[in-house]
Amino acid sequence: MAASIPYPSIVFVPLDILTAEELNQLQANTVYLANLFPLAAASIADGAITNTKLGSAAVKTGNIDWTTLGAQYASADHGSDINIGTTDTTMLSVTVTPGKWAIFAGGSLNANGAAIGDSSIALKNGTSYLAGSTRFFNNQNQIWWLEVSTSAVFTATSNTKIDFVAQKGAGTLSMSYRSLIALRVG
Amino acid sequence: MDIILNQVAIWRPCGSSKLNKRIVPAGTGYRTPGSSVYQKSTEPFVRYCKDYEIGKGKSKVGFCLFVRTDIDNDPIIEQQLDAIASSISLEDALRISANSSLEAFEYLPKLIKLEEI
């Protein structure tokens, strides 16, 4: 049911002189509206507008800050050979903001005849590997298609750099098309 | 603009589709129709107002007629306001609707007629 102000029917026309009682009624209406729509200084208070009050047309892609909401994406093509040595080699990176993220990456690589396995490619959060799985398939002339994803939603408590890495000891890789995507899910 | 006793004015809708009545206390300044002499009332008089609509559908326009009068008789006043409202053209109503502000209104060349009481 629609809310109603305490005195909805105050009628006046030009040159009317309002009585003290009517001024009190107007004040009561003002106080009611102030309580109904809590204002902080000149702006609407945090949380005052609920999603049911927003029309679908009010939410447009142009109004969304996609750097903090939605997706982080990085891609590259035809990378040079990656000589895997004693340290991991970062192939792509994105930075995610605080929140919950689903992260996955993929691409194609040429292992140049070296043995590769599930541990050859990984996602890292700084110095920690993110639990997940790596899958290689469609081996054609030493060209592998691969994908890697986290096994659980990654929760970032601060701005966090996520790396798509070739792990140390994997030999010499030549990465071609590759991409890293983080989708915000909460 | 001054109060002109018994002369009907047109304004934008006031929010009351029923006849609305207010007592105007004694001591209120006013003029009589056609006079420039400003005087102060020694007895309370009455302000009546009522909203009307003209046109249909999307072309419907609302307006308000109001009058301050020394005739305190609801049925007679309402009857006369209704008769005046029926003579208002859609063009006049549109013009009033477009130009009215809290202070801007127009007096009509229409008087509440004592002889009809």
Structure confidence at residue A49 (pLDDT): 75
Which of B47, B48, B52 best probes binding to A when mutated, by most A CB atoms within 10 angstroms? Answer: B47
The answer to whether the CB atoms of B22 and A16 lie below 8 A apart is yes
Chain A residues with CB under 8 Å of B63 CB are none
Residues 9-28 of A with CB under 8 A from B: 9, 11-17
CB B73 within 8 A of CB B83: no
d(CA A57, CA A35): 28
Number of CB atoms found within 10 A of residue A143's CB: 13
Which among A181, A184, A166, A26 is positioned nearest to A82, based on CA atoms?
A166
Phi and psi dihedrals of B90, rounded to 5?
Answer: -60, -35
Structure confidence at residue B70 (pLDDT): 92
d(CA B94, CA B96): 5
> What number of helices (H) and strands (E) belong to chain A?
1, 13
Is the pLDDT reported for residue A158 higher than 60?
A: yes
* More confident site: A86 or A42: A86
The answer to whether the CB atoms of B105 and A12 lie below 8 A apart is no
**DSSP string for A64-112:** S-TTTSSEEEEEE-SPPEEE--SS-EEEEEEEEPSEEEEEEEEEEEE-T
* More confident site: A18 or A116: A18
Structure tokens given for A135:
């899958």
Mean pLDDT of A61-67: 75
Structure confidence at residue A84 (pLDDT): 66
Which among A126, A117, A172 is positioned nearest to A146, based on CA atoms?
A117
The A160-166 sheet, strands edge to edge: A89-96, A160-166, A121-125, A128-129
How far is the CA of A96 from the CAs of A24, A90, A102, A152, A160, in angstroms? 54, 16, 10, 16, 5
Mean pLDDT of A120-126: 84
Is the pLDDT reported for residue A154 higher than 60?
A: yes
Per-residue pLDDT of chain B (117 residues; tens, 9 = 90+): 789 999 999 999 998 999 999 999 899 999 999 888 999 999 999 999 999 999 888 778 999 999 999 999 999 999 999 999 999 988 888 888 777 777 788 899 888 876 654
Residue A12: strand, helix, or coil:
coil
- ipTM, two decimals: 0.86
Mean pLDDT of A89-109: 88
d(CA B75, CA B61): 25
Which of B2, B41, B49, B63 best probes binding to A when mutated, by most A CB atoms within 10 angstroms? Answer: B49
Query: In this predicted model, what pLDDT tens digit does every residue of A31-47 receive, in sequence order?
Result: 888 877 665 545 666 77
The answer to whether the CB atoms of A15 and B49 lie below 8 A apart is no
Structure confidence at residue A79 (pLDDT): 65
pTM above 0.80, yes or no: no
d(CA A27, CA A40): 19
Structure confidence at residue A1 (pLDDT): 43
How far is the CA of B10 from the CAs of A97, B47, B63, B91, B101, in angstroms? 61, 13, 7, 13, 12
CB A91 within 8 A of CB A175: yes
The answer to whether the CB atoms of B15 and A15 lie below 8 A apart is no
Place of tokens 């599930």: A118
Structure tokens given for A69:
């909401």
